[in-house]
A and B are shown apart, each in its own frame.
Chain A
Amino acid sequence: MSEPVRFHFDVAGENFVSAGEASATVKKLLRQLGVDPAVIRRVSIAMYEGEINMVIHANGGTADILVYTDRIVIVLEDHGPGIPNVGLAMQEGYSTAAENVRALGFGAGMGLPNMKRYTDSMDIETAVGRGTKITMEISL
C-alpha cells in the first residue's frame, strides 16, 4: 500500500468567519489531485460539518485528510466537551447549539447526520469532558 497524501489543518474555535476555510482548501487540493468532483463534494460537505461542529462546540480542533489510492480518510479531533449521547446527537434535528449560533443559520441538528450521509463509514470516539475523534472514509 503506497503512502497517502496527507493534509493537516488547525481549526480555530468560536470563529464563524474563518469556519470552512480548511474544507475550502481541501476542496481545492483534491481538485488539483484530479479527484472525481462528486467525491470532492461529499468530502467537502462531511468535512465542513465536522469543522463547524468543532467551531461551535469544542473551541476548535484538528482536521487530517489522508488521500489513498482507493479511499479518502478524514480524521477530526478535538478536546471539547465530548458527546454525552451519540445516538441522540445522530438524530436529525437534535441540536445543543446556542441561540447566537442558530441566528447564523447553524444548529439545525443536521451536522452529524450529514457527515454520515455523505461518507461510506463514520466512527465516533467520544468521552465526556475529554473530547471527540471522528473518523470518516469515502471510497474512491
Chain B
Amino acid sequence: MKINELRDTLALQPLSEGDTDREVSGGYTGDLLSFVMGRCPADSAWITIMNNVNVLAVASLADAACVILAEDSVPDDAVLSRARTEGINLYTSPMTAYELCGRLYALLS
C-alpha cells in the first residue's frame, strides 16, 4: 500500500510530506529511539508519541516510510520545519498507538 492510500484510508493528518507514492510494507511502534533504530524494518510506518527532532533522524536513517504520531501528538514548529525540509512523511492522528497498529495490521495483512 502506498503512503497516500494509507493516509487517506486512516484519515491521517499530514504534518509534512515527501514521496507519498512510497510503498509501506509493514509497521512498528515504539518510543525508545534505539529500539526503533535497531528493530524497525525499512519501509515501515513507525507509530509513536515521541515528537522531538530526533524522531526525524531515526525515521530517516532507519528508512521508515512514514512516521505516524498517535493521540494528536504534534511537534513544535522547529521540528515541523525540519521535517518539511527533509521531505519526511510525518502524520498525526487522534487514534492511540494501539488503534493505529490494529488498523494498519488489518490493512497490510
Contact = CB atoms under 8 A, between A and B. Distances in A.
* Interface size of B as a range: 10 to 19
Contact of B34 (A17, A23, A37, A108): A108
A44 interface: yes
Interface string B6-35: 000000000000000000000000011111
Contacts of A105: 31-33, 50, 52, 54-55
A104 B54 CA distance: 8
A27 interface: yes
Contacts, number: 67
Question: In terms of DSSP, what is the predominant structure of the interface of chain B?
Answer: helix
* Interface size of A as a range: 20 to 34
Of the candidates A16, A17, A41, A109, the one having the most CB atoms from chain B within 10 angstroms of its own CB is: A17
A130 interface: no
Contact of B37 (A16, A24, A37, A45): A45
